[in-house]
Amino acid sequence: MMFRTLSAIAFGTACLFSVNAWAASFAQLSSAEPQLATSTEANTVVMESTDAAVGMTNDNGILTVEEDGTYFVIAAGQVGGESSGSVKIWIRVNGEDVPNTNTEQAIPSGSFTAVQVCQGVYELKAGDNISVAYSASGPGLGLIVRKPEGEPLVPSIIFTAFKVN
């Protein structure tokens, strides 16, 4: 009987910790829209789709956290375009470029595509916001969308953020 009671307590404790792990803040955003540069200036990545979110809110790609904490962020852009050149993707916090987050992908031709990943861990306060920026070496390059026949959409970006417990 004692073993059964201890097992029930262990099971209940495991469930409690599991609930706490699932209750942590997280978000996954994406975009079904191509986002090609019209100049070499920086652009904020639009993410019109909130695929999942708890404890964070999305305003078309500006993600606001609701509680203080350490957050892991990863942005994966599908890059390419109509010509050759390069595409850069980086993270912004509260509208400011975060140092040492920029990534660059060379695009050798208009038919070339690649997944470009930018990630990091950030200390954020309630009300802070995270966004992704991109630039290209010339017009017609940036984040692209593909719709393979019989398969899910390849969005221009998939963005995930979660609070680290």
CA angle centred on 62, ends 57 and 64, rounded to 5°: 40
Higher pLDDT among residues 52 and 165, named by residue:
52
Confidence of residue 16 (pLDDT cuts 50, 70, 90): very low
Reported confidence tier of residue 23, pLDDT bands at 50, 70, 90: low
Burial of 31 per CB tally in 10 Å (0-12, 13-18, 19+): buried
The more confident residue out of 8 and 27 is: 27
Q: Give the chain's end-to-end CA distance (angstroms, integer).
A: 35
For the chain, the domains span 25-164
The mean pLDDT value for 52-78 works out to 98
Residue 133 gets which letter from DSSP? E
CATH 2.60.120.40 fits 25-164, yes or no: yes
Q: Say which residue, 158 or 24, is predicted with more confidence.
A: 158
Helix (H) or strand (E) holding 18: helix 2-23
Q: Give me the pLDDT at residue 165, please.
A: 81
Give the per-residue pLDDT at 22: 54
Say if residues 94 and 118 touch (Cβ distance below 8 Å). Answer: no
Please give the average per-residue pLDDT across 8-35, as a whole number. Answer: 70
**Cα 79 vs. chain centroid, distance in angstroms?**
14
